[in-house]
Amino acid sequence: MAYKIAVMAGDGTGPEVMVEAVKVMKAAEAKFGFSCDYTEFDFGGERYMKTGETLPDSAVEELRGFDSILLGAIGHPDVAPGILEKGILLKARFALDQYINLRPVRLFPGVETPLKDKGPAEIDYVVVRENSGDLYTGTGGISMKGTPNEVAVQSAVYNRFQVDRCLKYAFEYARKHGKKARGVGKENTLGLVGKTNVLTYIYDLWERAFNEMGEKEYGDIRRDYYHVDACCMWMVKSPEWFDVLVTGNMFGDIITDLGAITQGGMGLAAGGNINPEGVSMFEPIGGSAPKYTGQGVINPLACICAGGMLLETLGEEKAANAIEEAVKFVTANKMKSMAAGRMGHSTSEVGDLVAEKLADL
């Protein structure tokens, strides 16, 4: 039986990187003996400008029938900021209740990091970003707009259920994929990233839930806590301290961009919007890079890695590991730089190199 994969290539360089991700996934199918049916959807800026449609409810219903979704990039220079992001990306995340945003921060061999004296052994952790609550719920509003007394309120919202389900995922993830489980450390560690010194409602809830769950069910997992501001400091100075981090939606958004630049930039950062009981969506987290569109110079590795994460979530772990191995081989041996236009290869050549290596593994 074939997996049903929805492909939303989206805007800008999304379609170019998507071609390479699908190429590599097909190579993995051939090697590991499973198959995927790819169905393309054209949601994005172009369609919005023609039809006024972002991601209609009928499309959300259709997407529920797929095993997984691969997304290229959302964001168009001719569409006002927020419309496509909220109308497509956030709509899919919320409507499909993809309550986990899993973002590995891993430096691959041969990739340059701006962090002095740090290599792949030091930059090797995962951020579990809660993906359904916080400032992203849109709770709030503007009153007296345009007057000198204008007031804007936007609230961070969490309930215990949202926090608990995210923590459970994070603890389980740490048990299965933490540094001890992977044989690269003595302990499996989950670090909560919060702001308990100021956000005394939201992160009080998170901290209590974290400690209660940890004590009761995950005594084997070491628990750490970081204030988010200090966490940013340590992500630069001592990334080797981290194993699995868990945090709310807004902090998770911010710290994963910092994490991405430490792993070599947006050309390499992949993430998954995961509903462990439903339909998940995987994406390179870098955006649509409009200025590079259509030139064949954008780095497809993030989208290729997103495809690998997708296969892992479907249970095709061997294929996922092989994709990661092939990508590592290519970064270590074949590429001059990870930056668009400076890779020493075109976008499609990078895809070819990964697919060829994968076939040879």
Which residues of the shown chain bind ligand IPM in the complex (CB under 6 A)? 85, 89-90, 253, 285
Distance CA 151, CA 143 (A): 5
Query: Which one from 195, 203, 218, 226 is the annotated catalytic residue?
Result: 195
Span from 180-188, 253-261, 288-296, 323-331 in contact with Mn ion (CB under 5 A): 253-261
Question: Does residue 243 carry a catalytic annotation?
Answer: no
Dig out the tokens for 131 from the structure.
């993906």
Question: Does residue 125 carry a catalytic annotation?
Answer: no
Provide the minimum distance between the beta carbon of 62 and ligand IPM in the complex, in angstroms, as a whole number.
Answer: 22
Question: Does residue 257 carry a catalytic annotation?
Answer: yes
11 binds, among ligand IPM, Mn ion, none (CB under 5 to 8 A by kind): none
Q: Among residues 94 and 171, whose Cβ is nearest to Mn ion?
A: 94
130 binds Mn ion per the rule CB under 5 A: no
Span from 52-60, 159-167, 246-254, 318-326 in contact with Mn ion (CB under 5 A): 246-254
In three-state secondary structure terms, 116 is coil
Per rule CB under 5 A, count of chain residues that contact Mn ion? 1
- CB burial of 250-263 (b: ≥16 within 10 Å; e: otherwise) equals bbbbebbeebbbbb
> Distance between terminal CA atoms of the chain?
25
Distance CA 306, CA 18 (A): 10
Among 124, 130, 253, 324, binds Mn ion (CB under 5 A): 253
Distance CA 143, CA 81 (A): 21
Is residue 212 a contact partner of residue 160, using CB atoms and an 8 Å limit? no
Q: Among residues 103 and 345, whose Cβ is nearest to ligand IPM?
A: 103
Is residue 38 a contact partner of residue 3, using CB atoms and an 8 Å limit? no
Q: Which of 52, 53, 202 is nearest to 139 (CA)?
A: 202
90 binds, among ligand IPM, Mn ion, none (CB under 5 to 8 A by kind): ligand IPM
Nearest residue to Mn ion by CB is 253
Q: Among residues 71 and 170, whose Cβ is nearest to ligand IPM?
A: 71
Provide the minimum distance between the beta carbon of 171 and ligand IPM in the complex, in angstroms, as a whole number.
Answer: 23
Give the list of residues 6+ apart from residue 47 with CB closer than 8 angstroms, or none. Answer: 53
Q: Among residues 303 and 330, whose Cβ is nearest to Mn ion?
A: 303
Nearest residue to ligand IPM by CB is 85
In three-state secondary structure terms, 13 is coil
Is residue 332 a contact partner of residue 119, using CB atoms and an 8 Å limit? no
Is residue 159 a contact partner of residue 133, using CB atoms and an 8 Å limit? yes
Query: Which one from 42, 204, 220, 229 is the annotated catalytic residue?
Result: 229
205 binds, among Mn ion, ligand IPM, none (CB under 5 to 8 A by kind): none
Q: Which residues bind Mn ion (CB under 5 A)?
A: 253
Name the residues annotated as catalytic: 136, 195, 229, 253, 257
